[in-house]
Amino acid sequence: VREKLKGTEHAVSKAATALPKSGWLAIVRKAQTLVQQALAQNNHLQAYRHSRDLVWFTLTFTGCLRKNECIQLKRHHFKMEPEHNYFKIFIPTTKTSRNGVTLAIAKQLHSGIDVAAIVRNHFGIMRHLGLSPEANIIGRARSPSTPLKSADSVLTAFRKVYIPAVASEGIKLPADAIWSGHTFRRGGINAIRDAARAKGVSDAELQRVLLKYGRWKSPQTLEKYLVPTNPALATLAQRI
């Protein structure tokens, strides 16, 4: 799909469905439940697997991280900033900066999701498994000390584990959706756009904020990530 549409205005929008905030919340809460269940059974390897997925789902959405930005992160790239309501992540290499960038992410979301706690809990599981501080925070499910070369296994779990799990609870995501590595990044930037509009942020200021947060250089590229509100997805919010 991506190759066919390469160079067209639909290249991003058709290659990845933007995950709606309501669907993201359902996925995150299901992952949190699976982590707690694994810990209750003293199965720390299984807990790592779900916690790894949870961290990836959370950071790529709330931080609008690209998939390759997320899988390169290590514990020392995080600064939890105890005096502030945000924490910082240093991303060593990005698509638009070889020197890396520092991103601030809110610790607690209005939806009740505690992003900082999700990260801290994952670090605790990593320490319990004896992983080196230099280990990537997103490792292989069966061999956590081995870094992932791509996010394919996380996305496979998203499609085969988490989507069916939330569907069994009555929360169904679009059957014709194209879920890819950009799904969470697109969903996150659209959620930020919607929240900013609700607060009355002007269009000019909104574009500036979104470009900076998503680390895009071109307004034209940003526009490809933004989607209009989909009424068919709005019903998901009633179920959260």
Question: Could you report the per-residue pLDDT of 22-68, keeping only the tens digit for each?
Answer: 999 999 999 999 999 999 999 999 999 999 999 999 999 999 999 99
Distance CA 218, CA 206 (A): 14
- Going by C-beta distance under 8 Å and a sequence separation of 6 or more, which residues neighbour residue 90? 77, 79, 100, 101, 102
Burial class of residue 156, CB neighbours in 10 A (0-12, 13-18, 19+): exposed
**β-strand pairing of 86-91 with 78-79:** antiparallel
Q: Is the pLDDT confidence value at 101 over 60?
A: yes
Closest to 151 measured CA to CA, from 193, 191, 184: 184
pLDDT of residue 181: 84
Query: How many Cβ atoms are within 10 Å of 27's Cβ, its own excluded?
Result: 25
Helices (H) and strands (E) in the chain, counts: 12, 3
**Which two three-digit tokens encode residue 235?**
């019903």
pLDDT of residue 227: 77
Measure CA of the first residue to CA of the last residue in the chain; give whole Å: 32
Q: What is the DSSP letter of 212?
A: H
For the stretch 154-189, pLDDT in tens is 999 999 999 999 999 898 887 778 898 889 999 999
- Going by C-beta distance under 8 Å and a sequence separation of 6 or more, which residues neighbour residue 146? 139, 140
Q: What's the whole-model pTM score?
A: 0.87
The percent of residues above 70 in pLDDT, for the chain, comes to 88
- DSSP letters for 124-140: HHHHHTT--TTSBSSB-
Distance CA 222, CA 206 (A): 11
Distance CA 188, CA 44 (A): 29
Q: What is the DSSP letter of 162?
A: I
pLDDT of residue 15: 62
**CA 47 remoteness from chain centre:** 18
Q: Is the pLDDT confidence value at 119 over 70?
A: yes
- Of 6-15, 17-26, 89-98, 180-189, the range with the lowest mean pLDDT is 6-15
- Of 38-42, 119-123, 124-128, 216-220, the range with the lowest mean pLDDT is 216-220
Distance CA 156, CA 162 (A): 9
Closest to 92 measured CA to CA, from 78, 106, 107: 78
